[in-house]
Amino acid sequence: MPENNLQNSIAKLEKRSASFRNKILKNPAAKKFFAKSTLLAYDLRQKSGRILAGAGLVGSLMAMPMPQTPSFPTEISEPVKSVLSNKQKILGNLQEIIPHQPAKITGDQALKVEKLISENTNIPVKVELDGQSLNHTIGYTGFEQHLKRYPGDTLAEHDEIQEAGMAPGLGAFGYFAKDSRDFSTKTYLQEKYYCVVQTLYLENWNKDYRQLKDWYSFRKMLVVNPVNGNAVVCVIGDAGPAEWTGKQFGASPETMEYLDLNKGPRKGLILMLFVDDPENKIPLGPVNY
Amino acid sequence: MQPLFFDHLVIKTEIIELISKKPEPENQKGKALQLIDDIFYQGIVAHILEKLNPKHHDTFLNQVHERPYDPELISYLKEHIGPDIEDDIRKAANKIVKQILKDLSD
């Protein structure tokens, strides 16, 4: 297999980012401050957008001259026309393909969904991957609490939606990082964008527990809200919810916020698909398409 | 893309052109661009903290957190570091550009 140059460059860029982060965190004020704030430009830009939108300033600031600054997308960007058309394609077609209640889809129906989502988001998705499939492809998701990312992690150290609280126990797959020194951008994003699936009700879970736990833990998934087309790439961070809740899935506060399911009953029907990403190229977080 | 207070001091044209010419999938390019955005933010904050008197660090960081887009942050730095801080950030950003271009070209 030919060597992937950009992949190598990304590894170097990650090292450079880590080196700057360490430099900043040697500063006592910054160390204290960045326990509650973010060191990710993407998050800060999102926040900037929310503040400006709230103040009705986006238009005026965007109109200000910003010399020599080219457009710099933080995710895959497409012209606005294309954004609307891809989302509209998914929204229009999904309504016809999928049932509007919790269900597992298979056969032609599954192929149609995979094709529709993969082609319009550029994210290869599967209803069944490596012979594994969930009991539900469509189901209700609930608003979960934050999870402990490493031993000693506290709610105060989570930078967003602290009102969601922190689950008292660990997720079914344990901590995201083995300790605070191992905590990185990768594990930060994994907790920010995690989902919950009912691995515990898989037919062969009790028999093949060890292999299945390894396969499902932190597995990358795509969650789509079929009502608005909003989609988030996340990882499986916990097992559940219990059958009696009437829900089939769960999602982190940030994921639910992006899906626009964080208001009212904080529950909604979603599509849950495996991301076929053996080389780990698909970034976690909201999908811009 | 929503603005950050130092965006106008950073010229990323060469980086974007280099990445756009790469044959790898768009998702991977997006990941690289996101990392690069983080590097500029982290590198510039680290540079400012080196220049700024530690007694102003808390105020500065809180302002970045509260109003990341605010041009007044530059005014604050001019007052507490010196009138040439914009040139200084520009130079620091150019240095980071060179480092990133090296990472992308090696």
**Domain residue spans in chain B?**
7-105
| pLDDT mean over A250-271 | 92
Count of residues for chain A?
A: 289
Cβ atoms A46, A75 nearer than 8 A: no
| pLDDT mean over B57-84 | 88
Cβ neighbours, 10 Å, residue B62? 13
- A24-35 pLDDT, tens digit per residue, is 888 888 888 777
pLDDT of res. A185: 78
Q: What's the predicted TM-score (pTM) here?
A: 0.56
Which of A1, A4, A6 best tests the B interface by mutation, with the highest count of B CBs <10 A?
A6
* Total CB pairs under 8 A between chain A and B: 163
**Domain residue spans in chain A?**
5-63, 80-286
| pLDDT mean over A197-201 | 94
Contact B38 A30 (CB under 8 A): no
| pLDDT mean over A201-219 | 93
Instruction: Return contacts of A151-154, CB within 8 angstroms, 24+ apart.
Output: A151/A175, A151/A178, A151/A179, A151/A180, A152/A179, A152/A180, A153/A180
Chain A contact set for B12 (CB, 8 A): 69-70, 72
Chain A contact set for B11 (CB, 8 A): 68-69
Query: Rounded to whole angstroms, how far apart are CA atoms A99 and A178?
Result: 41
User: Where does residue A206 fall: left (phi above 0), alpha (psi -120 to 50 degrees), or beta otherwise?
Assistant: alpha
Round the average pLDDT of chain A to a whole number and report it. 83
ipTM: 0.93
Residues in a beta bridge with A143: A251
| B13 contacts: CB under 8 Å, gap ≥ 6 | A68, A70
Instruction: Report the sign of the C-alpha dihedral through residues B99, B103, B105, B106, in that order.
Output: positive
Q: Taking a contact as any Cβ pair under 8 Å apart, which residues of chain A between 18 and 57 contact chain B?
A: 20-21, 23-24, 27, 29-30, 33-34, 37, 39-42, 44-49, 51-52
Nearest CA of chain A to the CA of B87: how many Å? 14
A99-108, A191-200, B64-73: the lowest-pLDDT one: B64-73
Contact A29 B26 (CB under 8 A): no
H helices of chain B, in order, are: 13-20, 26-51, 57-66, 72-80, 85-105
- What would be the CATH architecture of the domain defined by A80-286? Beta Barrel (2.40)
A25 or B89: whose pLDDT is higher? B89
Contact A21 B42 (CB under 8 A): yes
Nearest residue, CB atoms, A20 vs list B19, B43, B103: B43
Structure tokens at A202: 């898989």
Structure tokens at A97: 């393909």
